[in-house]
Structure 1
Amino acid sequence: MPHTLLLVDDEEKVLEFMEPFLRQEGFQIITAANGREALQKAKEQRPSLVVLDWMLPEMSGIDVCRELRKTGNMGIIMVTARTDETDKIIGLELGADDYLTKPFSLRELVARIRSVLRRLEGHGEASVEMIRGELTISEAQLRVWKRGEEITLTPTEYRLLLTLAAKPGIVYSRLQLLQAALEDDYLNDERTVDAHISRVRKKIEDDPANPVYIQTVYGFGYRFGDRT
């Protein structure tokens, strides 16, 4: 069954640029021209992924991203003309799975969309449930619970957590995490993993400043605590 994409941009020409090509690639397309319309359509039609412009009328793309993350695990790709690296980190920390700077090619957009969707689908892993301390991680359902209460993670956050939790005590470099959990989209941007790790810690740690689960190995990368 084809995936449904929600394209959100207040410039009609941008939507006209993206929509026909994405339909040819086999996606079902719905569109929205402002933030409030985007939230309403996302709620009603539950798209697999949202391609979300940063600058929108009525409600910014950042605010839309924040609200979407409260309601579901759909993929989110932020699209913006802003090139400041700080803006990128902000977008990722608020829950975006990827960040694309204008101008971009349609083939690059499709590649990014397919990459996020693969992470969302979990690459078809076998049904496995891991218990790590107070965390329960279901590979079959792509879900995580802590003390019985479900934690909402983005597909990218889930893949990072799963990669680390599968081998407690093993140290992963940022590059290894990028390759294992984020595939090859970010190979020249290792800081991306720090933003995602920060978000995961805020969700799973009792004290994110003193993490028990995802620990920093200074000068190298991260490991999952082997005493959890």
Structure 2
Amino acid sequence: MTGTPLTTILIVDDEPQIRRFLRPSLAAQGYAVVEAASGEEALARAAEAKPDVIILDLGLPDLDGIEVIRRLREWTEMPIVVLSVRSREADKIAALDAGADDYVEKPFAMGELLARLRAALRHRLRQAGEAPIFRAGALAVDLVRREISLAGEPVKLSPKEYELLRLLVQHAGRVVTQRQLLKEVWGPAHVEDTQYLRVYIGQLRDKLGDDATKPHLIATEPGVGYRLLVELAGDAQR
């Protein structure tokens, strides 16, 4: 990525070797890099530097990373991609529910992290414009007319299927947790009914020609939720 001004990334990690690894890798992609080694420093640097995206470790020496996310979300919507050794499902859900845009486990592949960063940045850009028509590859979703098409052919969805797709589109590139999908589509009384969700996601995939074993549109984050794969399917267009 090139251009002026540069996209700025704040790396928050108390391990110097992680920061040393990320700094040149991100700079090589055209990003400007700001660093912090603790939660309090992260909050201060975020306020000062106004980064475009934050890479955040959860195991910080002063504040837990989830608390950092909560405090950031009190005043900013800047994208937050968690990069953490914590692999428990509960930790991932807690971070996403607190307001993180994505979650990458350590050890990690740099290519995947860069793709997640691009997806998080695109999501914020779309939020600013709220494009009425979302396009990703052959898929087109008209959020005003509630019309879906695939390669120009109309796709008929049930009301619940449409609401699921709408939520995935509005958070394209990000993980949407099972609880969030269930709460939004079926209501608070159904946040534990994950079987409902699996059935409807399966139906949605069938209608969109997506294969759960090799997804090009809807990816499963096991035990956590689902993600619309804008990186693989193609950029969303306004």
Q: Structures share a fold, TM > 0.5?
A: yes
Do the aligned partners of residues 60 and 185 (structure 1) sit closer, same or farther apart at CA in structure 2, a change above 3 Å counting? Answer: closer
How many pairs align?
A: 176
Aligned to 1:100, the other structure's residue is in SS state strand
Is the counterpart of residue 167 in structure 1 residue 151 in structure 2?
no
**Residue 220 (structure 1) aligns with:** 200
Contact 2:40 2:62 in 1 (8 A): yes
Query: How far apart, in 2, do the equivalents of 1:94 and 1:68 lie?
Result: 10
The alignment yields a C-alpha RMSD, in angstroms, of 3.8
Do the aligned partners of residues 124 and 65 (structure 1) sit closer, same or farther apart at CA in structure 2, a change above 3 Å counting? Answer: closer
Contact 2:120 2:173 in 1 (8 A): no
Query: How far apart, in 2, do the equivalents of 1:7 and 1:165 lie?
Result: 38
Is the counterpart of residue 193 in structure 1 residue 177 in structure 2?
yes
Query: How far apart, in 1, do the equivalents of 2:102 and 2:61 lie?
Result: 22
Opposite residue 50 of structure 1, the aligned amino acid is I
Q: TM-score, normalised by structure 2?
A: 0.62
Between the aligned residues of both structures, percent identity stands at 32
Deviation at 1:171, TM superposition (A): 2.6
Do the aligned partners of residues 103 and 178 (structure 1) sit closer, same or farther apart at CA in structure 2, a change above 3 Å counting? Answer: farther
Deviation at 1:164, TM superposition (A): 7.0
TM-superposition CA deviations, 1:59-99 (whole Å, max 9, x none): 11111111001111100011111111111111100000000
**Residue 44 (structure 1) aligns with:** 48
Query: How far apart, in 2, do the equivalents of 1:37 and 1:122 lie?
Result: 29
**Residue 95 (structure 2) aligns with:** 91
Do the aligned partners of residues 46 and 116 (structure 1) sit closer, same or farther apart at CA in structure 2, a change above 3 Å counting? Answer: same
Deviation at 1:193, TM superposition (A): 3.5
Do the aligned partners of residues 70 and 11 (structure 1) sit closer, same or farther apart at CA in structure 2, a change above 3 Å counting? Answer: same
Do the aligned partners of residues 172 and 3 (structure 1) sit closer, same or farther apart at CA in structure 2, a change above 3 Å counting? Answer: farther
**Residue 169 (structure 2) aligns with:** 180
Opposite residue 178 of structure 2, the aligned amino acid is D
**Residue 188 (structure 2) aligns with:** 209
Opposite residue 188 of structure 2, the aligned amino acid is A
Aligned to 1:71, the other structure's residue is in SS state coil
